[in-house]
Amino acid sequence: MEKKSSSLVYKGWCIFSKDLKSELRNRYALNALLMFAVTTLVAVSFAVGQFGLGENLLAALFWIVIFFSALSGLAQTFIKEEETKTASTLKLVASASSIYLGKLTFNIALLLALEVVIVPLFFLLSNVGGANLLLFFAVLILASLGLAAATTLIAAMVSKAAVKGALFAALSFPILLPLLVTAIQGTELSFKGEAFMSGFSELKVLLSYLVVMLVASLMLFDFVWSE
Amino acid sequence: MPDFWKFFLLLLMSAVIIAAWSMEPPQNQLGEVSRLFYFHIPVAWVTALAYFVAMSHSVLYLRRRELLYDVKASSAAELGTLFCVLATITGSIFAKMTWGAFWNWDPRQTSILILLLIYGAYLALRSAVREPGRKAALSSVYCIFAFPAAVFLIFVTPRAYQSLHPASSVIDTSGRIQMPAPILVTFLASLICFTLIFIWVYTLQTAIGRNRLSERKL
């Protein structure tokens, strides 16, 4: 049993490093993702920057930028497998769960790479002063993990459909809304500089969302992948 | 559905409509608009019921791989969309008359909108996949996957945030029903009527779907 689970994690890791290598070679997803995010952020900041927005609007704008940038890039990892017709080979070498874990890790890495660029830029452009950074990063990381967990399964579904781009956003939005609402509220609290414990209920909701989505994805991924 | 039930439905629905418009409004301080109560809640109930039927048939499809379950799931989802639109519209009218605006992002309004979006995304996904087996599998997975999100929105969010939606007027916090007997009877009759309408149209729709399936096999 232990050996089986270790090989599951090991194979997941192999798929992650394979994706990472091919991504670093051509930067297919990352460049598009970054440019999308930077363009959106600059456009938003240019349009509303001089008005000195309140914390609630800033938190909403921040998550809108993250959400749409994520949606522009996170489906690529599965679409690429379908386009280059490598999906069947992947099916032969690894089980569905390990593929899900590998792709999930890759999407998390992609999202964190995006945030490394976006977060400092956002703080630079929006003049948020006196934010509670500990709460901010706790919300950011938990919400990013939840975002990746929920969208990876949808990305796999979208890669099997005929129209991909618009469908990904349409399918993801209703499922991600509880996450987005909670993340926006937690981020707003952190921008206001509230104490860490005041955002504790938001963190609990984000954590439970992450666990629920992870379990549901692991249960359902096999059905999508075997199609 | 046997003919007996159709006549029963005709009589009961007529009685509900007459009672809903001839009795005192169920909540006097809200006035005439509170008559919507007899129609809004049953429609919202059918919306949730239809979603549950769609979700459980999606599970059955993934287990047994028979397209008939997919027909049942998608018929329930299509009907659910219709009832969801009706619930949203009746709710907005109520909101306009009591809170002053058709839409004000009350948690209840948000959750019904998300249910509508889930149904819409489900139907969009179905039209985006051509091959029937794949269409059935992907839409079943989506229907099941959206379920936790719907549970979060319907049960967690409205309790975490303040809502103007009248809930305590129907069932108070201790779980007891606080309604005078004639209002309660009319309400329950209306609930039965809308559920019967759902079952009726649902059996018709699945019959059509079953015929299409057997046509394709020929």
Contact yes or no for B22/B100 (Cβ under 8 A): no
How large is the angle between the packed helices B67-99 and B107-128, nearest 10 degrees? 150
Banded model confidence at residue B115, pLDDT cuts 50, 70, 90: confident
Does position A39 have pLDDT exceeding 70, yes or no? yes
Predicted local distance difference test score (pLDDT) of residue A68: 87
Banded model confidence at residue B174, pLDDT cuts 50, 70, 90: very low
Banded model confidence at residue B26, pLDDT cuts 50, 70, 90: low
Tell me the average pLDDT across B37-46: 88
Tell me the average pLDDT across B133-152: 88
Comparing CA positions, the residue from B201, B215, B214 lying closest to residue B78 is: B201
Contact assignment for B138 to A163 by CB distance below 8 Å:
no
Minimum mean pLDDT range among A156-170, B113-127, B195-209: A156-170
Does position A129 have pLDDT exceeding 80, yes or no? no
Considering only CB atoms, B152 lies closest to which of A178, A223, A224, namely A178
Considering only CB atoms, A162 lies closest to which of B128, B146, B152, namely B128
Q: Tell me how far the alpha carbon of residue B88 is from its chain's centroid.
A: 10
Predicted local distance difference test score (pLDDT) of residue A33: 84
Q: Tell me how far the alpha carbon of residue B186 is from its chain's centroid.
A: 19
The encoded tokens of residue B206 equal 């699945």
Task: List, as own/partner pairs, every contact residues B16-24 make where C-beta atoms lie below 8 angstroms and the sequence separation is at least 24, other chains included.
Answer: B16/B186, B16/B189, B16/B190, B16/B193, B19/B182, B19/B186, B19/B189, B20/B186, B20/B190, B23/B182, B23/B183, B23/B186
Does position B164 have pLDDT exceeding 70, yes or no? no
Report the C-alpha gap between A8 and A95 in whole angstroms.
8
Predicted local distance difference test score (pLDDT) of residue A15: 87
Search chain B and give the residue with CA nearest A211.
B148
B56-88, pLDDT tens digit by residue? 999 999 999 999 999 999 999 999 999 999 999
Predicted local distance difference test score (pLDDT) of residue B160: 60
Predicted local distance difference test score (pLDDT) of residue B28: 60
Banded model confidence at residue B158, pLDDT cuts 50, 70, 90: low
A42 close contact with B: CB closer than 8 A: no
SS3 for A213? helix
Mean pLDDT of chain A: 86
Does position A143 have pLDDT exceeding 90, yes or no? yes
Does position B110 have pLDDT exceeding 50, yes or no? yes
Tell me the average pLDDT across A91-105: 88
Q: Tell me how far the alpha carbon of residue B87 is from its chain's centroid.
A: 7
Report the C-alpha gap between A34 and A42 in whole angstroms.
12
Banded model confidence at residue A148, pLDDT cuts 50, 70, 90: very high
A161 close contact with B: CB closer than 8 A: yes
Residue B191, class by beta-carbon neighbours within 10 Å (0-12 exposed, 13-18 middle, 19+ buried)? middle
Contact yes or no for A148/A115 (Cβ under 8 A): no
Contact yes or no for B38/B187 (Cβ under 8 A): yes
Q: Mind telling me how many Å the CA of A11 is from chain B's nearest CA?
A: 24
B149 close contact with A: CB closer than 8 A: yes
Does position B175 have pLDDT exceeding 60, yes or no? no
Does position A220 have pLDDT exceeding 60, yes or no? yes
Report the C-alpha gap between A146 and B114 in whole angstroms.
18
Contact assignment for B134 to A227 by CB distance below 8 Å:
yes
Banded model confidence at residue B171, pLDDT cuts 50, 70, 90: very low
The encoded tokens of residue A41 equal 């952020």
Comparing CA positions, the residue from B50, B87, B48 lying closest to residue B72 is: B50
Considering only CB atoms, A163 lies closest to which of B128, B141, B144, namely B128
Q: Which is more confident, A73 or A206? A: A206
A46-81, pLDDT tens digit by residue? 887 677 778 888 899 999 999 988 888 888 888 888
Comparing CA positions, the residue from B79, B82, B81, B57 lying closest to residue B70 is: B57
Search chain A and give the residue with CA nearest B153.
A178
Tell me the average pLDDT across A117-121: 91
Contacts of B149 in chain A (CB under 8 A): 174-178
Contact assignment for A174 to B121 by CB distance below 8 Å:
yes
Radius of gyration of chain B from Cα atoms? Answer: 19
Tell me the average pLDDT across B161-178: 52
Q: Tell me the H-state helices in chain A.
A: 2-26, 28-48, 55-73, 76-83, 87-93, 96-126, 133-159, 165-191, 200-225
Percent of chain B with pLDDT over 90: 38
A127-142 in b/e form (b: 16+ CB < 10 A) is ebeebbeebbebbbeb
Mean pLDDT of chain B: 84
How many CB atoms are located within 10 Å of the residue B198 CB? 23
Contacts of A200 in chain B (CB under 8 A): none
Q: Mind telling me how many Å the CA of A112 is from chain B's nearest CA?
A: 24
Contact assignment for B141 to A223 by CB distance below 8 Å:
yes
CB pairs under 8 A between A and B: 78
